[in-house]
Amino acid sequence: MGVQSSQIFVNLPVKDLNKSMEFYKQIGYEFNPQFTDENAACMIIGENIYAMLLVEPFFQSFTKRELPDTSKTTGVIVALSAENREQVDEVVDKAVAAGGREASEPHDEGFMYYRSYHDLDGHYWEVMYMDMNQ
């Protein structure tokens, strides 16, 4: 039996909290004001799924390890499911229009379609649709 959790919080270091929040708002995300201040913003991804955007000095207070240079390395890929192929394209296109970079060419595996982007801080996001009927 695995460990069960009722919520997930992905913590990501960001250089400029206001710019990051504006970037994600342009994609369509909202923020929980109860858990948002000058050091952190709670981005609502889905039911019980959140990304905590933490300014780098605040993020650094939680770990003794160095922060990765996301312009050169990938420490994690945050993969999110979409309702259909069109939503995959919509999310990634909005991210690129808001200042992100497309991370790779679209991948079409037949039963699975996905695209990815790097956000303003170089974090790698993958958006995918899986057709479970195939």
Model confidence over 51-71: pLDDT tens digits? 999 999 999 999 999 998 998
Over 70: is that where the pLDDT of 1 sits?
no
Cα distances (Å, whole numbers) of residue 58 to 4, 49, 84: 28, 21, 36
Q: Which two tokens stand for residue 32?
A: 């929980």
Euclidean distance between CA atoms 103 and 92, whole angstroms: 10
pLDDT score of 125: 98
pLDDT score of 4: 75
Over 70: is that where the pLDDT of 15 sits?
yes
DSSP 50-116: EEEEEEHHHHHTT-SSPPP-TTT----EEEEE-SSHHHHHHHHHHHHHTT-EE-S--EE-SSEEEEE
Q: For 48, left (φ over 0), alpha (ψ -120 to 50), or beta?
A: left
Amino acid at 105: E
For the chain, domains (ranges, CATH) are: 1-62 (3.10.180.10), 73-134 (3.10.180.10)
Per-residue pLDDT, averaged over 105-112, amounts to 94
